[in-house]
């Protein structure tokens, strides 16, 4: 089923298709797709990012490519254009390409068979194909999962995002798609104060392997403003996290940094109510 070993930085005939999904909207799927795609491209991998959010496209804007769209995924699926005509090279990397979504159709305009056909057109040209799934669990999600070799589930350490992520992990499992987790927007001050679930809490609850942890970072918004993924900003903690995640996707052994803050004494006294 899985091309995981093929994706481990080695030579292979066929690229690995990874769907980036979450259930809950607004947790960072598009940012992750763009930033992780950019990070993989920086490592020399040929990467295609596909916007599967038909009708609500955003991946183009995050990559700063909104003015360069001619054809989109629906055109490729319906054979209105050649596949090579629809993909757009990114601004900062010769290794990173975008296949945009259409903005005027709805999510039922293509089906899973057509999505598999689209993936087939590109699998021999790219090491990694990242598919940005829409929020939800309906046809758009099912389309985004079609032909995926594995999944990355994005969540934030919040109750509703985790609940939705849990449902999605279950659905992916029933499709035979293995999922790994990215925890986005974690705030370690809040974790230390006991006001936010920790990485371990989220892992205990969801029970799947953690691919990466990304701290809340204002630079993500700045990056979106400018249409340049945060990956290229060496000062951004989120950018650094995405670069580490790219390494792990390629099979490198990169440990998740221990963000565990606060001395043992502080944690004990806080528990006893002596250290508010």
Partner 1 sequence: MLTAIKNLIFGGNNESKDVAKSRLHFVLVQDRTGLTNDEMSGFREEMVKVIEKYFVIDKDGFDIKYHRMADTTTLLINSPVIVRRVGSLNRTPANTVVEESAASNV
Angle in degrees, CA 164, 200, 135, rounded to 5: 20
**Shortest spacing between CB 273 and partner 1, in angstroms:** 4
**Shortest spacing between CB 178 and partner 1, in angstroms:** 8
Does 175 bind partner 1 (CB under 8 A)? Our answer is no
For residue 17, report the phi and psi dihedrals to the nearest 5 degrees.
-100, 120
User: Taking CB under 8 A as the criterion, which residues in 35-64 touch partner 1?
Assistant: none
Position among 111, 112, 166, 187 found at the interface with partner 1 (CB under 8 A): 166
**Shortest spacing between CB 256 and partner 1, in angstroms:** 18
| Residue placing its CB nearer to partner 1 in the complex, 175 or 193 | 193
| Residue placing its CB nearer to partner 1 in the complex, 62 or 186 | 186
CA distances from 18 to 7, 37, 81, 186, 204 (A): 10, 11, 24, 23, 24
**Shortest spacing between CB 221 and partner 1, in angstroms:** 25
Residue holding tokens 């909104």? 66
Work out the burial of residue 202: count CB atoms within 10 Å of its CB; fewer than 13 is exposed, 13-18 middle, 19 or more buried. Answer: buried
Does 191 bind partner 1 (CB under 8 A)? Our answer is yes
Could you give the string, one character per residue 194-213, with x where binding to partner 1 holds by CB under 8 A and - elsewhere? xxxxx--x---xxxxx----
Does 255 bind partner 1 (CB under 8 A)? Our answer is no
Q: What is d(CA 195, CA 14) in angstroms, rounded to the nearest whole number?
A: 45
Q: Tokens for 125, please give them.
A: 């040209």
Could you give the string, one character per residue 208-237, with x where binding to partner 1 holds by CB under 8 A and - elsewhere? xx----------------------------
Does 152 bind partner 1 (CB under 8 A)? Our answer is no
| Residue placing its CB nearer to partner 1 in the complex, 67 or 272 | 272
**Shortest spacing between CB 114 and partner 1, in angstroms:** 30
| Residue placing its CB nearer to partner 1 in the complex, 138 or 209 | 209
| Residue placing its CB nearer to partner 1 in the complex, 89 or 167 | 167
Q: Given the rule CB under 8 A, which of 59-67, 168-176, 221-229, 257-265 is the region that contacts partner 1?
A: 168-176
Contacts with partner 1, residue ranges (CB under 8 A):
159, 162-163, 166-167, 169-170, 173, 191, 193-198, 201, 205-209, 271-273
């Amino acid at each position: 089923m899985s091309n995981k070993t093929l994706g481990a930085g080695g030579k292979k005939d066929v690229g690995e298709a990874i769907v980036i999904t979450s259930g809950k909207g607004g947790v960072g799927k598009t940012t992750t797709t763009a930033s992780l795609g950019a990070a993989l491209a920086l490592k020399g991998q040929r990467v295609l990012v596909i916007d599967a959010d038909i009708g609500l496209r955003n991946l183009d804007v995050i990559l700063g490519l909104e003015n360069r769209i001619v054809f989109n995924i629906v055109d490729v699926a319906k054979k209105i254009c050649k596949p090579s005509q629809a993909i757009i090279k990114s601004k900062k990397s010769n290794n990173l390409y975008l296949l945009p979504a259409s903005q005027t159709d709805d999510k039922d305009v293509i089906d899973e068979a057509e999505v598999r056909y689209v993936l087939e057109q590109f699998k021999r040209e790219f090491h990694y194909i990242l598919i940005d799934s829409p929020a939800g669990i309906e046809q758009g999600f099912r389309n985004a999962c079609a032909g995926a070799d594995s999944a990355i589930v994005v969540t934030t350490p919040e109750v509703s995002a985790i609940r939705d992520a849990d449902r999605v992990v279950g659905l992916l499992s029933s499709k035979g798609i293995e999922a790994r987790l990215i925890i986005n927007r974690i705030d370690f001050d809040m974790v230390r104060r006991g006001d936010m679930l920790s990485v371990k809490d989220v892992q205990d609850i969801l029970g799947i392997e953690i691919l990466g942890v990304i701290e809340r970072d204002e630079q993500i918004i700045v990056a979106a403003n400018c249409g340049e993924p945060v990956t290229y900003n060496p000062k951004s903690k989120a950018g650094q996290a995405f670069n580490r995640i790219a390494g792990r996707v390629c099979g490198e052994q990169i440990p998740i940094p221990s963000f565990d803050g606060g001395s043992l004494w502080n944690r004990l006294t806080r528990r006893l109510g002596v250290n508010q």
